[in-house]
A and B are shown apart, each in its own frame.
Chain A
Amino acid sequence: MRFLCMVQTDENPPWEIPGALYEAMAAYDQEGRLNGTLVESRGLLPSAAGAIVSAADGRVKAIDGPFAEAKELVGGYAVVDVRSREEAVELGRRLVQLHLEHIPEWRGTVEIRQIADF
């Protein structure tokens, strides 16, 4: 079963992101390649490079980023291929823990959603 894991966090956080976190993330990804769970993963550019298309009063409205009013945004995602939801949760737990190890005051969530297969 495949899951989409979305890392959501403050887009303009008060904390510094140390280079060591990027290295730890690369190591985490490599681990996922070696145990066959990682299908793909990517970081996302700031919302300034994106847009939101929505329905407003029955009409379609498109607004370019940045999304000022949103508190937490998806900053990266991974698609994982695992045998149980618990495995996806464990992978998510490790991801959050990784952030906390490098940024003790880090706040964020990993939303884990199963991908419909059939």
Chain B
Amino acid sequence: MVEQATRAAIEAVWRLESTRLIAALVRMLRDVGLAEDVAQDAVVAALAAWPVAGIPANPGAWLMTTAKRRAIDVLRARARHDRAAAELAHDLAEVVDEDPSAGIDHVEDDVLRLMFICCHPALTAEAQTTLTLRLVAGLSTREIARAHLAPEATVAQRISRAKRTLAEVGAAIEEPAAAERAERLGTVLGVVYLVFNEGYSATEGEDWMRPALCDEAVRLGRILTALVPEDPEVLGLSALMELQSSRLAARADAEGEPILLDAQDRRRWDASRIRRGVDLLDRAVALVAHAGPAAEPGPYVLQASLAAEHARAASVDDTDWERIASLYERLARRTGSPVVELNRAVALGRARGPEAGLALLDQVSDLPAMRGYHLVPSVRGDLYAQLGRWDEAAAEFGRAAGMAANARERGLLERRARDARAAGGPIASS
């Protein structure tokens, strides 16, 4: 029992310390794989020592010192045939016993650099996501596998391949240059939002949502706002995730079935998350305004503005659909994304009537990016339903159900197809 309690306490310490521990070790060792190995060794050492001696007053410093000592051993073993390792081992040995907390003083730079490394352009998007969850969020391989419904061996392989790629390109040594930094930050934001979205509407499998992934992404967004507080897009992403996750409790019923925006009980939206999201958005908008009259809000600020419009509205009918449509128009201009146009069609349908929505949908539904995308027939079905064209609505919902990969969503679309057929039934057969 005591053993169990200590284990849980050590795991908690690891959770709180792992990001900066690994980030500092990467800076010192210039090797992501080695940094992670010695950090793990430090945890193993803690599991042996702390149940006997108790948790040290400064557990982070204890882990850091232990990891550094372990790194010196490894580097000395390598030193026989590697001069750089010998020098590094010597330098580390100089600092390791002076001040146990030495090396945790550049934490902001370290953590941001670690994020940049995890999102290195040499890595695939999948590898970037996995490595970010592993090294920055501190999730275990098993946790990542569970979150992505992938076999543990696949995730482990993905991680080791990613580390190999990073070693080959020397990613841990380089600092992105100023010009590349903005681009790299954009990649980091994209990876974090990808994690959030995978949690918010799981694309595969049985679950409609995986809140744990949303929580991780919100936390990563929070860390980013501490690291880069003056970037409107960083604040915008954090605002967007706070606002969207405010609806998590209202997005599914007790059986886990999806509840769409129209039908959600807005009293169940989390007011404190909404407030935090709106505050972050206000700060982001102020920063954009401060940047000059020609400055345009970026995609995350625009998306957060959209989420805030929904959050402010007491009901679907109270929503400012014209403003939402115009925000989508600006977003489409910024991103060129046909999915954004799809959302604009929904908003136009609300603002000016279903025909306006259908007209825009006709323009975008044949684009290559839209092929096989289940939300195209789903939106079309919805607009037909609003016009009372039930047979066509039923056919579209049926088509959408055939394309949806998420079991819950498929069930919802099949239900809508049945409802539309029932609504149109007597008229259609007469």
Contacts and interface: CB of A to CB of B under 8 A. Distances in A.
A and B co-occur in one complex: yes
Interface of A: 30, 33-40, 79, 81-84, 86-87, 89-91, 97, 117-118
B13 interface: yes
A90 B215 CA distance: 20
Contacts of A83: 15, 215
Interface stretch (B221-229, B325-333, B369-377): B221-229
B12 A118 contact: no
Contacts, number: 60
23 contacts: A33-B225, A33-B226, A34-B107, A34-B108, A35-B16, A35-B20, A35-B223, A37-B219, A39-B222, A81-B219, A82-B12, A82-B15, A83-B15, A83-B215, A86-B11, A86-B12, A87-B12, A87-B15, A89-B9, A90-B9, A90-B13, A118-B248, A118-B249
Secondary structure at the A interface, as helix, strand, loop or mixed, is mixed
Nearest to B248: A118
Contacts of B227: 34
Contact of A34 (B57, B218, B223): B223
B44 interface: no
Interface residues of B, number: 28
A81 B12 contact: no
Q: Which of B9, B12, B249 has the most CB of A within 10 A?
A: B12
A90 B223 contact: no
Q: Which of A91, A117, A118 has the most CB of B within 10 A?
A: A118
Interface string B1-23: 00000001101110111011000
Contact of B8 (A33, A36, A86): A86
Contact of A36 (B9, B57, B223, B249): B223
Contacts of B107: 34
A86 B11 CA distance: 8
Contacts of A40: 276
Given A81-B215, A86-B8, A118-B249, A91 B16 contact: yes
B188 to A, nearest CB: 14
Interface in B8-65: 8-9, 11-13, 15-17, 19-20, 57, 59
B347 interface: no
Given A30-B226, A34-B223, A36-B223, A84 B12 contact: yes
B111 interface: yes
6 tightest A-B CB contacts, nearest first: A36-B219, A86-B12, A33-B226, A87-B12, A36-B223, A86-B8
B12 A33 contact: no
Contacts of A82: 12, 15
Contacts of B218: 81
A26 B225 CA distance: 17
B220 interface: yes
A37 B226 CA distance: 11
A89 B57 CA distance: 14
Given A34-B223, A36-B223, 4 more contacts: A33-B222, A34-B226, A83-B15, A87-B15
